[in-house]
Structure 1
């Protein structure tokens, strides 16, 4: 069990330079993309891909550079892609001291929100987040996210996707030393590192974290340009779908190059705003990385 009340992965943050282009790209990939939201205090904007397993993907753009969004602004100077991972917690503020005691210093909690247009009028979706020192989470930014208004975020009209997506099956991290990278996350989640051939897997509570070296990930995503990124880095995701054939039909219509094999559909980071994306119905690690 987690040392600090973390109950799993909440969402991935894909930082993008052009939010309209990102919305269109993920729409072509068959996702239902929510209308644009604006984080009033953080001066950022987003679209989301909401899933029935209580996870989601956030496409995030910067409206005005502020200290609160500096991480994402700096990230976008280098590239687009998965810039952060949000973890589920019932109390982001209370988790700060236990995190620090376990070797994961964290910043003061921040409260913020974004207005959401609903049939009955506008309501604010409210969150509290606690940022973990990125020096302790190899590959990217990790923060705890507490939802105060989950009913506004997971709206019934946003959960069905043309590609049949139902949730996040895995977070993929590229590392030259998978043991060291996976070990850091194992301490955070209070879980063992499981060896699966050349890959390392850490149970987060819901969506497993998969760490592998670029040469092994290369088998799945061929010569993806994201592999030029300094390692370790948050490479991408595996999305679980209800019907693989349906997902493949949608991807064919998208005209994005897709690698098909072993029951997994793989899309390059060039098609998904810097994130390597795979689709699978019954996710088996050996099908992604033999």
Structure 2
């Protein structure tokens, strides 16, 4: 009897899992040779299907929200949750992944503007299909600014998730001041040079990861964008989200964005960290979540986004 009961439990559990994952299909889709991603399509189709385009954060972060040695599946889990709520999602790899696979990545040639153009290319690809009632760009972290600029005049709505409210030089300087205050003066000088549009010869090896010669052109192209200035240009429904356990982007950044665009919706999610996980412990627990792909995204995030999308 015990074996039968256990078998029935396993069968019902498997059925429950199947039903949950069967609410959408998941397909690999390439917009072009450099932009490849995953399209999550709800099984329930109607004339008011909505699409969210997810843009990943800084560095070599892939369509699922992961980097080498740091797998958390943040974007994948968010996409799946939204698809289960009957919202289509397209999450794509930055062009650097295709370039690395082809062995022709030239870091010095990367530009923030190129990533903006890529986001516009993805958006145009889906707009041409005339398949979706609305198309919303949702950017995470650095992707929030990329998406913000790309959304202007092109998307039906915009969502900032853990996006900075200040230009990258101010954010970087604040981070250095907290983590390595003895480097603040040198970093401030270097950022001022880059902000003027000029590169420099780096002499301090401690700052190589931040200011190596091959990455300086990218910072120059990034530093010219002020999120508060850009969000004022938007004339579409806007949602600003941040978690109060985010140790990378403070909630003050979201508040600055909201001050610049007061008609935007602002949502600060309690206990949510930078990668959408629920954190009820200290910074050690917070940091450990960055390498835990089995930890689900906090339920309030897809719920807030779904409510926003359904109101469009």
TM-score > 0.5 by shorter chain: no
Structure having greater relative contact order (Cα 8 Å, sep ≥ 6): 1
Q: Which has the higher helix share?
A: 2
Q: Which has the higher strand share?
A: 1
Larger Rg: 2
TM-score norm. by structure 2 comes to: 0.30
TM-score norm. by structure 1 comes to: 0.31
